């Protein structure tokens, strides 16, 4: 339980979200902490406060208003915010994260009320360590950082992308119990090439074009040095960087500092977990699958690389494993005869006649699964889904692009255009669908099933690096949590209500890898699962008077 180490009293206490209890301050606390008269006289229980929050939440006109309301609550009363989010995760996650956070980022400058996190800009070159020193907490263990270049499927939103690290770190706390004081959202404002933002007087970032090349790399290197110096035990999560920068940063730093890229590795892990679960329905092993990806960027190639690792772990030759994964990008099928391929695509450029589009690739390659990671909506058309149903008794259809407006198909389309036979997952949530006389509950392949648990395991073990093996074991752990009842209802992921339990198990599995591989810097607990659970924050108000 938190103690009042800040020695705050009066209005200062009410205005500090970490320590504020609002109307839940007891009469004795109000007297001792100079709060008498600064609050309405009636003392409310936390349960009544939650009831009030939910009532106000439901009265909002739309999801964006609900997003603004919840961010405002977090600014006022952090404990109450997390109590509401944890206890009502099904309702809250689509608001504080995808899909609503996408619209929140698009309008971030217009909605701006109070700064959250740390902004490091191109103007801070040469003094980033000074900027990092301004953060008030001395013990930060998890940083989520973005440069705003590729926010979800919405493109370059510049400094407005701060909504993403803020939202991701809220999920670290809600889903895995990482204490909010240990987290730090950071936006690197290196400019934007978004013409609308450059012309917007309310845009909160630098009104200049993006840094590129050496200037960009130098800024990132200074950033990594600065945060690593102040926070030597920190985990850095790269989020929503442009494709080339994402791959370059991960390759450069993954063996130097404790870091990972969620768009590449987290997405891969949650998708592999979904595949493992889907194969329990089809009854066919991973080695017999043919995966066809729409989109050959960070997410798609990250998934394929982890699938290849899974197949090689099962004993398949790496070259043969890569042959199970095929890609269609904006120019057509990725094949070896093409001369326009980026380096990260070439391992999946197979010997095959070029095909111009996704539909022709489906007919030629006869995939068992199609995986959308394109950011292009409505690309899984009715003819394509009908073809998948003709080629497979139970076609696997993963439409992973976020937010919902960018999804390659809807849950209703996936089920109804395959006569209810599709095994479906999406990146953003869809409502239940009734089709062919059966009600389906669409699975959401949300990275929140993976990255909070991975972070928890890294934090508890003090892992020096984050490895692909950790994401592999996270995928297997998540898949094992799906029960037969879930499968019968069309779910290939466990319900969100179990996510803290799932995160604890993933954290245990990840920490175990860290200890086994000699990557841990913390002593090995006698009871690792218990140690993981003991580190998980519960949003409970402090008792300022030390009374039972």
Catalytic site includes residue 67: no
The string of pLDDT tens digits covering residues 28-60 is 999 999 999 999 999 999 999 999 999 999 999
Q: What is the CATH number of domain 10-94?
A: 1.20.1370.30
Q: Where in the chain is the domain with CATH 3.40.50.10380?
A: 95-257
Distances (CA, A) of 226 to 230, 232, 254: 6, 10, 17
Average pLDDT, the chain: 96
The Cα–Cα gap between 454 and 194 comes to: 33
**Where residue 7 falls among pLDDT bands split at 50, 70, 90?**
confident
Tokens of 2: 């938190």
Tokens of 539: 């949003």
Q: What is the pLDDT of residue 5?
A: 53
Q: What is the pLDDT of residue 490?
A: 79
Say which DSSP state 404 is in: G
pLDDT(447) > 50: yes
How large is the average pLDDT for residues 197-225?
97
Q: Which residues of 268-287 are buried (b: 16+ CB within 10 A; e: fewer)?
A: bbbbbbbbbbbbeebeeebe
The string of pLDDT tens digits covering residues 295-306 is 999 999 999 999
Q: What is the pLDDT of residue 1?
A: 35
Q: Where in the chain is the domain with CATH 3.40.50.720?
A: 265-448
* Contact partners, residue 180, CB within 8 Å, separation at least 6: 18, 78, 82, 169, 173, 537
Query: Bridge-partner residues for 127, per DSSP?
Result: none
Angle (CA) 103 104 106, round 5°: 60
Catalytic site includes residue 2: no
Q: Which of 67, 82, 97, 108 is catalytic?
A: 97
- Burial class of 238 by CB neighbour count within 10 A (0 to 12, 13 to 18, 19+): buried
How large is the average pLDDT for residues 402-424?
95
pLDDT(499) > 70: yes
One DSSP character per residue, 67-95 reads HHHHHHHHHH-HHHHHHHHHHTHHHHHHH
pLDDT(548) > 90: no
| 3-class state of residue 18 by DSSP | coil
The Cα–Cα gap between 279 and 256 comes to: 36
**Interaxial angle between packed helices 163-176 and 89-96, expressed in degrees from 0 to 180 and rounded to the nearest 10:** 160
Report the percent of the chain where pLDDT is more than 70.
Answer: 99
Nearest in space to 440 (alpha carbons), one of 364, 491, 394 = 491
Tokens of 516: 């086994």
Please, are residues 268 and 303 in contact by the beta-carbon 8 Å criterion?
A: yes
One DSSP character per residue, 173-242 reads HHHH---GGGEEEEEEE-----HHHHT-TT--S-SSPPP-HHHHHHHHHHHHHHHHHH-TT-EEEE-S--
The sheet with strand 235-238 has its strands ordered as: 118-121, 183-189, 142-146, 235-238, 259-261
Q: What is the pLDDT of residue 140?
A: 98
**Where residue 3 falls among pLDDT bands split at 50, 70, 90?**
very low
The string of pLDDT tens digits covering residues 382-399 is 999 999 999 999 999 999
Q: Which of 168, 345, 406, 505 is catalytic?
A: 168
Tokens of 161: 């992308």
Q: What is the CATH number of domain 265-448?
A: 3.40.50.720
Pick 95-257's CATH classification: 3.60.15.10, 3.30.960.10, 3.30.530.20, 3.40.50.10380: 3.40.50.10380
Q: What is the pLDDT of residue 505?
A: 98
The Cα–Cα gap between 137 and 181 comes to: 7
pLDDT(547) > 60: no
The Cα–Cα gap between 263 and 241 comes to: 9
The string of pLDDT tens digits covering residues 228-268 is 999 999 999 999 999 999 999 999 999 999 999 999 999 99
pLDDT(411) > 50: yes
How large is the average pLDDT for residues 180-206?
98
Q: Where in the chain is the domain with CATH 1.20.1370.30?
A: 10-94
Tokens of 252: 């450069």
How large is the average pLDDT for residues 5-31?
93
Q: Are strands 118-121 and 183-189 parallel, antiparallel or unpaired?
A: parallel
**Where residue 189 falls among pLDDT bands split at 50, 70, 90?**
very high
pLDDT(4) > 80: no
Is the previous residue joined to 223 through a cis bond, with omega within 30 degrees of 0?
no
């Amino acid at each position: 339980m938190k103690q009042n180490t800040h020695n705050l009293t009066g209005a200062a206490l009410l205005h500090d979200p970490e320590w504020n209890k609002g109307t839940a301050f007891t009469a004795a606390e109000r007297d001792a902490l100079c709060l008498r008269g600064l609050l309405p006289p009636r003392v409310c229980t936390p349960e009544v406060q939650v009831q009030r929050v939910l009532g106000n939440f439901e009265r909002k006109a739309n999801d964006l208003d609900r997003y603004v309301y919840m961010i405002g609550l977090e600014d006022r009363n952090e404990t109450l915010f997390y109590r509401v989010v944890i206890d009502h995760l099904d309702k809250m996650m689509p608001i504080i994260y995808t899909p609503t956070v996408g619209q929140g980022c698009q309008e971030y400058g217009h909605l701006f009320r109070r700064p959250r996190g740390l902004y490091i800009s191109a103007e801070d070159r040469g003094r980033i360590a000074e900027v990092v020193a301004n953060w008030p907490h001395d013990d930060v263990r998890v940083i989520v950082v973005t440069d705003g270049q590729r926010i979800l499927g919405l493109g370059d939103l510049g400094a407005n992308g701060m909504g993403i690290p803020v939202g991701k770190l809220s999920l670290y706390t809600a889903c895995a119990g990482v204490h909010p004081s240990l987290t730090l959202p950071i936006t690197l404002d290196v400019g934007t090439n978004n013409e609308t933002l450059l012309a917007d007087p309310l845009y909160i970032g630098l009104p200049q074009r993006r840094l590129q090349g050496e200037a960009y790399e130098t800024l990132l290197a200074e950033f990594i040095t600065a945060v690593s110096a102040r926070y030597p035990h920190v985990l850095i999560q790269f989020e929503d960087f442009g494709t080339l920068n994402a791959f370059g940063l991960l390759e450069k730093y993954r063996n130097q500092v404790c870091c990972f890229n969620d768009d590449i590795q987290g997405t891969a892990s949650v998708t592999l977990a979904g595949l493992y679960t889907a194969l329990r329905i089809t009854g066919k092993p991973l080695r017999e699958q043919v995966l066809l990806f729409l989109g050959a960027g960070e997410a798609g190639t990250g998934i394929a690389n982890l699938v290849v690792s899974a197949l090689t772990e099962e004993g398949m030759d790496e070259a043969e494993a890569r042959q199970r994964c095929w890609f269609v990008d904006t120019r057509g099928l990725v094949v070896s005869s093409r001369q326009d391929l980026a380096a990260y695509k070439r391992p999946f450029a197979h010997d095959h006649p070029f095909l111009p589009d996704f539909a022709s690739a489906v007919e030629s390659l006869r995939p068992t699964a199609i995986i959308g990671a394109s950011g292009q909506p409505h690309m899984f058309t009715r003819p394509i889904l009908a073809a998948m149903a003709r080629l497979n008794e139970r076609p696997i259809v993963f439409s992973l692009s976020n937010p919902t407006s960018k999804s390659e198909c809807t849950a209703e389309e996936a089920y109804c255009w395959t006569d209810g036979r599709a095994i479906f997952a999406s990146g953003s949530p869809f409502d239940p669908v009734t089709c062919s006389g059966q009600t389906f509950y669409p699975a959401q392949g949300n990275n929140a099933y993976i990255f909070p648990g991975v972070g928890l395991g890294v934090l508890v073990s003090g892992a020096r690096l984050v490895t692909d093996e950790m994401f592999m074991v996270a995928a297997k752990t998540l898949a094992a949590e799906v029960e037969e009842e879930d499968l019968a209802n069309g779910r290939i992921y466990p319900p969100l209500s179990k996510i803290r339990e799932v995160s604890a198990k993933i954290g245990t599995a990840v920490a175990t890898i860290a200890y086994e591989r000699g990557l841990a810097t913390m002593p090995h607990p006698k009871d690792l699962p218990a140690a993981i659970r003991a580190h998980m924050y519960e949003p409970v108000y402090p008792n300022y008077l030390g009374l039972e």
